[in-house]
Amino acid sequence: MNSSLLQEKFENSAQDVTYDPNERLTVNVDLSLCSEEELPRMVHIVNRLAKSEAGRETLEIAAKAGYKFGFLDAATNCFGCCFGGYNFIGLGPKASDDKLVSTLCHECRHAGQSVRMKDIPERDKLNVASIIRVSRAKEADAQAYAVKACKELELQGDEGPLSTFKKFYPPIYDAYEKAFKEQGVLNDKVVAATFKGWYDQTGTKQNYEEGYIIEPMHNALEAIDKGFGVGSYFFHRNVNSADIVAKIGWTKDGNYLAGENPDFLNEDHFLSVGERTKKDAQDFFKIRQEKTRLSADTSVDSMPTYKDAFPRKLPEMGKPRGADQKPTMDMGSTIEKWNAILAAKKGKSK
């Protein structure tokens, strides 16, 4: 599951907007996860995104892959999620429409990644260096394409999505703005520079390291201690930079990263991890080897580091987590909500 980062600030609330209940979709997407009350808003957001060429492209790819769209549970503190295992895309109802236009593009781009990168192993099979390369590239690509769509909308007079993106992700926006001024047009070089701008967010990188690497390591040790085996994460498959670059930047008009060095994801700026992340990972493999005799993933040993942006929220590796240190995103209520909506619609259709 890919999700827009939980630690980001929410806007005060969704704006007070009246939606036309008679507005019809301009692109054929499945909105069956929406309740009758939610449907006009989702139609409006989808149609707004579809006015951009990049936005329509991502919507059509997600639709072709069988994804359904809906709103997350109101209590879920998340902008959006792409549930690859369920083929669901969800938006956080508390955010404004300006925010959700770019979020929808972002999540639809993740849906497309699941199609064009299906031969790349899932995250729970990858070694630490590959998790960093693949996971960050997926997020950077999704944000770069969201910016592309927002800029196309701005050029049509719809300025809200891009100006809102700027408020939430200044480093990415700054990279885009600099490249756009240099190029004068919205071309592949601008999108590639925007992609690279994602890596300027030290705090965001550290948050994802905690969610994608450190939390699963704690889970694995807990599974071992409970006699459940080594857990689902093995940390052993490698995926190199060139293979990721060749797939991540795909568009219907070619790969926007084609002009880049295919090994750039191995450069320090793109591969480095927080000092605490590296220590925690090395401690994990040492503890796991003592408990199971499984060999360590040595890819982490040569990874460069950066100074941590904030203190690690989780305890030292091998120490128990407190009740407030468990994963913060529980989507169970959203899945229950969507199942209820689908069941009700199925009942009406009989």
| Distance, CA of 33 to CA of 51 (rounded, Å) | 23
Tens-digit pLDDT profile for residues 205-222: 999 999 999 999 999 999
Which residues are paired to 30 by β-bridges?
68
pLDDT at 10: 47
Which residues are paired to 185 by β-bridges?
none
Neighbour-count burial for 129-162, b at 16+ CB within 10 Å, e otherwise: bbbbbbbbbbbbbbbbbbbbbbbbbbeeebebbb
**pLDDT class of 1 with cuts at 50, 70, 90:** low
pLDDT at 31: 98
Asked if pLDDT for residue 185 goes beyond 60, the answer is: yes
Please compute the mean of the pLDDT values over residues 84-99 and round it to a whole number.
94
Phi-psi region of 242 (alpha: psi -120 to 50; beta: other; left: phi over 0): alpha
Tens-digit pLDDT profile for residues 264-287: 999 999 999 999 999 999 999 999
Q: pLDDT over 90 for what percent of the chain?
A: 82
Token digits of residue 237: 């498959």
Instruction: Find all residues with CB under 8 Å of 190, minimum gap 6, and list them.
Output: 148, 176, 179, 180, 183
Place of tokens 């891009």: 162
Please compute the mean of the pLDDT values over residues 136-159 and round it to a whole number.
98
pTM beyond 0.85: the answer is yes
Asked if pLDDT for residue 350 goes beyond 70, the answer is: no
pLDDT at 348: 74
Q: pLDDT over 70 for what percent of the chain?
A: 93
All structural domains of the chain with their residue ranges: 1-116+330-350
Length, in residues, of the chain: 350
Q: Single out the residue of 68, 205, 42 nearest to residue 137, CA to CA.
A: 205
pLDDT at 232: 79
